[in-house]
Chain A
Amino acid sequence: MSAAKRVQQWATFARSWHIFDCKWQDPYESANIIKKYLMGLHKPIYHPMNDCGDVVVCINSRDIALRGDEWRKRAYFHHTGYPGGASWTLAWELHNKDPTMIIKKAVYRAMKGNLQRRHTMQRLFIYPGENVPEDVLQNVTNQIRQIRLVPTRLDQIPEEVTKTYPKVMDYPEDYVLK
């Protein structure tokens, strides 16, 4: 076996590690992307019976962005099993309690409910901030591209850029500058 083939063989069957930055990303959109890497759907050798899924490390899960008014409209249901044990937690309340829970539940629900799902979830690491343990970070070999652009705040843009940026609107005459 040639050296190139040997590397290809190794790369095909190795469990590689991917990193995903959740900053300003919709968890429900990104769950569909993360799912593919976790299950190994991006590999040509994928088969539900072979264990070819990769590991995904999600960072900055505290800074996820939900669409419109979903923070106060989306509710997470839990039932303790006892009578009257039902509870509904709003997305912002859940995110206050545990900033990793929304992305975890989104990925869990994006996958088909079979016996493999809980084992696949074991390969997902979620961190609320940028502090990732060193032994996790040194395995990472690939970064998953973000879906949405991270927006820039106006106060973070330098003053001269704001001033020299091309304008589309001009004030009419007799406008009192405020």
Chain B
Amino acid sequence: MAGLVRAGFSFAKTAIFSTGVRSIATSKPLHLKEIRERVEGSTKIIDAVNVPSPRTELLIRAENLPNQVPAASTSEKPPCYMCALGLDVKHTDVLIVSQFVRSDGCMLPRKITGLCRRQQKKMGKLVTMAQKAGLMINLTPDYCKKDPKKRRDYKKFNTYFDERTIFMKRIPKPVDRFKR
């Protein structure tokens, strides 16, 4: 029922707001938008320009890799690209983790990353770990203390994290064999 209503809404929307002109493309190009500001005389012009993605050339996908065996999945849904790659990403692999953040160091939403739920949660935690360990200090807001040594109290010392704790409901205390 909900689907029927939605279809009706979208049909009405296209009927009302259709411009009549549609761009036709045989392939689906990857466009990014960049907001540009320029001043011409007394008017300020702000426009969004489509730019090619800088990452398309370097993109690694599991299906493009040679001698890659497609994973026999029991479910009908295909795995997301990170599940298909099957990489063991640690929080110290900043070159991979930093691809999922904005320039201010925030994790991108799932709508943009296109990950599955589990991978999105995992990558989000890895980003947090890398930021707390002070490994991505150039991807932080301006007001952030860039140098980890200048942080306060316990934050100024080196910290590492255990990736096995990401999906643990209750993180166990480290066993202290020497405790009296």
Contacts and interface: CB of A to CB of B under 8 A. Distances in A.
Q: Do A and B bind each other?
A: yes
Interface of B: 28-35, 48, 51, 53-56, 58-60, 81-82, 85, 87, 92, 94-96, 98-100, 102-104, 111-114, 133-139, 153-154, 157-162, 165, 171, 174, 176, 178
A162 B136 CA distance: 12
B142 to A, nearest CB: 14
Interface of A: 24, 26, 28, 63-68, 70-72, 90-92, 95, 109-110, 148-149, 151-155, 157, 161-178
21 contacts: A24-B160, A63-B158, A65-B158, A66-B158, A67-B160, A68-B161, A70-B174, A91-B154, A95-B157, A109-B178, A148-B160, A153-B136, A162-B98, A167-B55, A169-B99, A170-B56, A171-B30, A173-B30, A173-B32, A176-B34, A177-B34
A90 B154 CA distance: 9
Nearest to A166: B60
B66 to A, nearest CB: 14
B59 A170 contact: yes
Contact of B160 (A65, A162, A165): A65
B157 A92 contact: yes
B32 A67 contact: no
Nearest to B175: A28
Contacts of B138: 154-155
Contacts of A66: 157-160
B135 to A, nearest CB: 5
Contact of A172 (B112, B136, B176): B112
The 9 lowest CB-CB distance pairs between A and B, nearest first, are A109-B178, A65-B158, A92-B154, A71-B154, A151-B92, A155-B138, A154-B94, A167-B55, A72-B154
Given A66-B159, A169-B100, A162 B33 contact: no
B137 A153 contact: yes
Contacts of B154: 71-72, 90-92
A178 B102 contact: yes
A154 B95 contact: yes
B58 A167 contact: yes
Contact of A67 (B54, B92, B114, B159): B159
B1 to A, nearest CB: 30
B134 A153 contact: yes
B58 A166 contact: yes
A76 to B, nearest CB: 12
A26 B138 CA distance: 26
A171 B102 CA distance: 11
B134 to A, nearest CB: 7
A155 B105 CA distance: 13
Contacts of B174: 28, 67, 70
A64 B41 CA distance: 59
A177 B98 contact: no
Nearest to B108: A169
Nearest to A173: B31
A24 B29 CA distance: 45
Given A175-B112, A176-B33, 12 more contacts: A28-B176, A63-B158, A68-B165, A70-B174, A71-B159, A152-B92, A153-B136, A154-B139, A166-B59, A170-B55, A173-B29, A175-B32
